Amino acid sequence: MKKDLGVLPALFPMPVLMVSTYGEDGKVDVMNAAWGQICDMDKIMLFLTETHKTVANIKHSKAFCVSLADKKHMDVADYYGIVSANRNPDKFEKSGYTAIKSERVNAPIIDEFPLVMECELSEIVETNDVFGIVGKIVNVKANEEVLNDKNKVDVTKLNALMFDQFQNGYYVVGEKAGQAWNAGVELSKK
């Protein structure tokens, strides 16, 4: 028997994305964003509140990097989602993390996170219902420890955090349940 739960953003899992940018003054900022998705093979869309410092930074620098947060760096990842550089300009310095300028876009890469997408601002989509920032992914970098021997990302090594918007939990992805475009093959032959 299903119960009605009312109106909820009832999607799980949500990613835990670290959006890193430069301000006009060259200062690094990083924010936590769970409302983001791949929207083409080379594009990512982030749904950000327009007043965040990150948004001002992206409008100015026309670029950003998106890292996947992992379990080892959960506390700092969460901190990036609690504190705003609008009110705390030294937000990034206080985290003690390392920023390295991307060679491809005008944005910093945060060294501690295992995988990063380097993005150019493609467009800002603004309608009555949506404020979305679309980035064109110009490169992906990943730590060797999260790759298999064919240089593919092995998500069992990534320990990527997932956000649970029902109860505000962070979860870790681990167990592989099956293979996509394969688990349903037998049934498709009927």
**Least distance between ligand FMN and beta carbon 143 (Å):** 22
- Answer whether 81's CB lies under 8 Å from 32's CB: yes
Measured from the CB atom, the residue of 86 and 156 that comes closer to ligand FMN is: 86
Q: DSSP secondary-structure letter at 2?
A: P
49/148 with CB nearer ligand FMN: 49
Nearer to ligand FMN, 27 or 102 (CB): 27
Torsion sign over Cα 156, 169, 72, 136: positive
Residues lying near ligand FMN in the complex (CB under 6 A) are found at 29, 31-35, 47-49, 52-54, 78, 81, 83-86, 91, 163
Contacts of 84 (CB under 8 A, 6+ apart): 31, 52, 53, 91
Distance in Å, CB of 38 to ligand FMN, minimum: 14
CB of 11 to ligand FMN, least distance (A): 12
Smallest separation, CB 171 to ligand FMN (Å): 12
β-bridge mates for residue 183, sequence order: none
Nearest to 161 by CA among 14, 12, 16: 16
